[in-house]
Amino acid sequence: MKNVNTIILAVLCVAVGILYVLHFSSNKCDVQSQQTASTEKQTVSIDSFPIAYVNVDTLLMTYQYAKDLNESLLKKQEKSRKELAEKDARIRADYTAYLKMVEAYKNKIATGQILTQETKEKEEAILIKEETRLNKKNQELKDLDQRLNQELFLEQQKLNSQLRDTINAFFAIYNQDKRYKMIFCDTGNDNIFFAEDYLNITGEVVEALNKQYKPVQK
């Protein structure tokens, strides 16, 4: 009986040893598999998948030249707004004065201060002349508003063109080594729903653009 127990115990020890070996062998395989997968993922890089993208929103917010162009346009917009507001304020003041003239004329008629037709016609002629002048000023204000808006639109188009030309010229040099076969632009995730992080080259592009722009800034 004792011999039987000894044999059973020996078999159990061997079995446990086999399970121990199998367990760690399996873990080792899993680790190796994970390492292989990680290595394969790292291998699938720019060299094997030569495309990239730039987030335009981030570029416009961090590229100093784009920020300066935007600031320049905002200053022009503020200048136009101020000019329109000043002219509008003067016209409003004149119109208030005109309404007082009309009210005074009506009071004169009501109280009998205007006794002759000639005097009445002179008073009315003055009011008509002032009304005509105010209408002309209002039209001039509308024309000015339209002209300034058109100028701002053309200025924005020009600045956008300058920025686009600068970026295009940069990429022509940036990709001289033909490292990328295609570089996408992404605006607010409208063009690219998902991409691996290593395909996003916005940071390095902005850094290079700013380095290029700083000497010009000085």
Mean pLDDT of 36-58: 67
Q: What is the pLDDT of residue 46?
A: 55
**Do 125 and 167 share a domain, yes or no?**
yes
Q: What is the pLDDT of residue 131?
A: 96
Q: Is the pLDDT of residue 62 over 90?
A: yes
Whether the model clears a pTM of 0.75, i.e. scores above it, the answer is no
CB burial class (10 A; 0-12, 13-18, 19+) of residue 167? buried
Q: What is the pLDDT of residue 161?
A: 95
**Do 61 and 85 share a domain, yes or no?**
yes
Domain containing 140 equals 51-217
Classify 192 as helix, strand or coil.
coil
Classify 71 as helix, strand or coil.
helix
**Do 27 and 125 share a domain, yes or no?**
no
- 37 vs 138, higher pLDDT: 138
**Do 96 and 185 share a domain, yes or no?**
yes
Q: Is the pLDDT of residue 186 over 70?
A: yes
Mean pLDDT of 117-141: 94
- 157 vs 29, higher pLDDT: 157
- 43 vs 117, higher pLDDT: 117
Residues in a beta bridge with 183: 52
**Do 100 and 194 share a domain, yes or no?**
yes
**Do 173 and 198 share a domain, yes or no?**
yes
**Do 94 and 7 share a domain, yes or no?**
no
Q: Is the pLDDT of residue 80 over 80?
A: yes
**Do 117 and 63 share a domain, yes or no?**
yes
CA nearest to 94, candidates 146, 129, 49, 44: 129
For the chain, what is the domain count? 2
Q: Is the pLDDT of residue 78 over 70?
A: yes
**CA distances (Å), 55 to each of 70, 170, 205, in order?**
18, 16, 10
Q: Is the pLDDT of residue 141 over 90?
A: yes
- 80 vs 42, higher pLDDT: 80
Classify 59 as helix, strand or coil.
helix
**Do 67 and 21 share a domain, yes or no?**
no
Q: What is the pLDDT of residue 45?
A: 56
